């Protein structure tokens, strides 16, 4: 479906770059870049999913490559949401370690500085109740290491789990 049609239907956000789509559907860097650009050009916010494939791999290095390939010279005023979701954390019983998420969030903010005026960063990858609070605690005094929210899959399916996470994020902010 084209970005124009989605915009006409009232869509406000479109996801691009999810690791499962790259792995299962063979979406390339060029396809993701075109989706990000088409979404922004249609005045919708691209939710760009970034992160490393393998545990132990440098998140900063992996995200830098993705940002360069997918954002190009996207206008800095584009409304962009960056979802940090390491592929190795998807579908696992636990999210990535909170210290890793905080460190990666800080690195992503640094990578986006000067590229996107006001990026929002969320964390995804086996999010559950307690994830956001644990990240906030791990970030300590580095407010830039705390994501702006979370990106839920399984936890978002169960209404009680979803509302628990929403309350947690609201209380933490």
Mean pLDDT by 10 residues, the chain (173 residues): 94 96 95 96 97 96 96 92 97 95 97 93 96 96 94 88 94 83
Quote the CA–CA distance of 119 and 113 in Å, as a whole number.
9
User: What's the half-sphere exposure (Cβ side, CA atoms, 13 Å) at 27?
Assistant: 19
**The predicted structure's pLDDT at residue 122:** 98
Q: The domain at 3-172 falls in which architecture?
A: Alpha-Beta Barrel (3.20)
**The predicted structure's pLDDT at residue 90:** 94
Quote the CA–CA distance of 131 and 123 in Å, as a whole number.
9
Bridge partners, residue 151, by sequence: 124
**The predicted structure's pLDDT at residue 1:** 85
**The predicted structure's pLDDT at residue 128:** 93
Catalytic residues, which ones? 18, 85
Give which of 1, 16, 26, 25 is closest to 67, Cα–Cα.
Answer: 16
Give which of 48, 40, 89, 47 is closest to 66, Cα–Cα.
Answer: 48
The domains of the chain are located at: 3-172
DSSP H or E run through 21: helix 19-25
| pTM given for the model | 0.94
């Amino acid at each position: 479906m084209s970005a124009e049609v989605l915009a006409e239907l009232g869509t406000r956000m479109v996801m691009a770059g999810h690791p499962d789509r790259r792995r299962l559907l063979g979406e390339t860097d060029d396809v993701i870049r075109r989706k990000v650009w088409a979404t922004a050009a249609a005045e919708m916010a691209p939710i760009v999913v970034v992160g490393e494939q393998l545990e132990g791999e440098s998140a900063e290095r992996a995200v830098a490559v993705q940002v360069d390939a997918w954002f190009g010279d996207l206008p800095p005023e584009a409304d962009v949401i960056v979802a940090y979701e390491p592929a190795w954390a998807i579908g696992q019983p636990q999210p990535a370690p909170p210290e890793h998420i905080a460190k990666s969030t800080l690195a992503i903010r640094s990578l986006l500085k000067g590229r996107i005026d006001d990026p929002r960063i969320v964390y995804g990858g086996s999010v559950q109740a307690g994830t956001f609070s644990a990240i906030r605690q791990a970030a300590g005094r580095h407010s830039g290491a705390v994501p702006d929210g979370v990106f839920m899959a399984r936890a978002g399916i169960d209404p009680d789990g979803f509302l628990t996470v929403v309350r947690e994020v609201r209380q933490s902010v």
